[in-house]
Amino acid sequence: MMSMGDYPREPKRSHIPDDVKEYVMRRDEGQCQACGSRSNLQFDHVIPVAMGGSSEPENLQVLCATCNLRKGPGLST
């Protein structure tokens, strides 16, 4: 079911299962974990997939688009 390449436009970055997204969104109370915003929310890999991070709930957090952009690829804060 979870074969790679299902999302050719976003390889590896966002193949987060729907149930995991639901779990993380509920756990993070539907708000950005950096600033508390509730708009433009995205799922962020705490450890980037490129660096071996998984798409497990433990490695995911909710960030708004602004904070996610600010974090940028490869930067850990």
Q: Which residues bind Zn ion (CB under 5 A)?
A: 32, 34-35, 37, 64, 67
Q: Which is nearer to Zn ion, 41 or 55 (CB)?
A: 41
How far apart CA 60 and CA 5 sit, in angstroms, is 20
Q: Which is nearer to Zn ion, 20 or 34 (CB)?
A: 34
Pick from 43, 46, 51, 34: nearest CA to 14: 43
77, 71 Cβ separation under 8 angstroms: yes
Q: Which is nearer to Zn ion, 34 or 46 (CB)?
A: 34
CB of 66 to Zn ion, least distance (A): 5
